[in-house]
């Protein structure tokens, strides 16, 4: 691995860490298209390149999400009563969906990722609305909703923030508490997803150099370590910066990455 690639992974990790702490996302929206491009450049076969990007991204998210979760917890922004209930559906949905990805082609996964991230990007430009529902959230509803969020998170390798935050705010949870709770849930998603991609990669006899299942170990180390230290910075900025402006900037970035992902397979 060349010095330029090492530097690229480290810078990517530092940026993803800030975004994870800032918006309660795991960073997969940034990691997957960038890692896909890097793996294609390295000569990874296209039939497995997106699987490798998804698994590697999920493993990177684990450490980033843990750091982000700790920071939001210190700021008192995690609603643990909700997180404990929601974690069950997240874990089951995420782990189960990793087995689905093994049967999908890289092109199909890339298209799904691009379409989903384009949708998320457009949501970033919508003005925040007053909560539509403020009643007590039923436990059954929480588990069913999180089952779906977990499944989608595995398919696009996200920490679930792009779905969890809007859902919790719609249910009357303060935006900063929604971000903090989403960050905590992102840790559960990443652990379940990493385990799933590890198992599926081994079952499909993935034997690329420096990989463990669908996880490229050098990228995990070089991305996850700097992101662990920059995630707290993002969490602090959440309390100070105008979220709506930041969401618009992030929305533009997501749209660019979404288009890049799509064109990589056209």
Per-residue confidence of the chain (266 residues) as pLDDT tens digits?
A: 678 889 989 999 998 888 777 765 657 778 888 899 888 888 888 888 999 999 999 998 888 788 878 888 988 889 999 999 999 999 999 999 999 988 888 888 888 888 888 887 887 787 655 555 555 778 888 889 999 999 988 888 877 777 888 888 888 888 788 888 988 898 899 999 999 999 998 888 766 678 999 999 999 999 989 988 887 888 787 777 776 777 777 778 778 878 877 877 66
Total tally of structural domains belonging to the chain? 1
Count other Cβ atoms within 10 Å, centred on residue 152. Answer: 17
Give the DSSP letter of residue 209: T
Q: Which two tokens stand for residue 215?
A: 């996880």
The residue behind tokens 């530097």 is 7
Closest among 156, 153, 174, 155 to 165, alpha carbons compared: 174
What range defines the domain where residue 222 resides? 3-263
The residue behind tokens 């296209």 is 46
pLDDT of residue 134: 54
Global pTM reads 0.82
């Amino acid at each position: 691995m060349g010095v330029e690639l090492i530097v690229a992974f480290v810078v990517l990790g530092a940026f993803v860490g800030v975004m994870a702490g800032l918006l309660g996302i795991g960073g997969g929206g940034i990691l997957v298209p960038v890692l896909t491009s890097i793996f294609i450049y390295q000569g990874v076969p296209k039939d497995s390149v997106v699987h490798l990007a998804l698994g590697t991204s999920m493993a990177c998210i684990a450490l980033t999400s843990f750091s982000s979760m700790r920071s939001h917890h210190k700021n008192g922004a995690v609603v643990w009563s909700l997180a404990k209930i929601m974690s069950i559906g997240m874990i089951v949905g995420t782990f189960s969906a990793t087995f689905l990805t093994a049967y999908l082609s890289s092109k199909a996964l890339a298209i799904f990722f691009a379409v989903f991230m384009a949708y998320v990007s457009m949501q970033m430009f919508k003005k925040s609305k007053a909560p539509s529902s403020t009643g007590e959230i039923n436990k059954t509803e929480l588990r069913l909703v999180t089952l779906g969020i977990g499944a989608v998170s595995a398919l696009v390798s996200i920490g679930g923030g792009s779905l969890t935050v809007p859902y919790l705010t719609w249910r009357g949870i303060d935006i900063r508490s929604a971000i903090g709770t989403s960050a905590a849930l992102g840790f559960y998603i990443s652990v379940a997803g990493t385990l799933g991609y590890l198992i599926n990669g081994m079952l499909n006899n993935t034997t690329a150099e420096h990989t463990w299942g669908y996880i490229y170990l050098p990228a995990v180390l070089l991305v996850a370590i700097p992101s662990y230290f920059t995630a707290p910075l993002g969490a602090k900025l959440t309390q100070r910066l105008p979220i709506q402006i930041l969401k618009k900037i992030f929305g533009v970035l997501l749209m660019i990455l979404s288009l890049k992902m799509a064109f990589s397979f056209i």
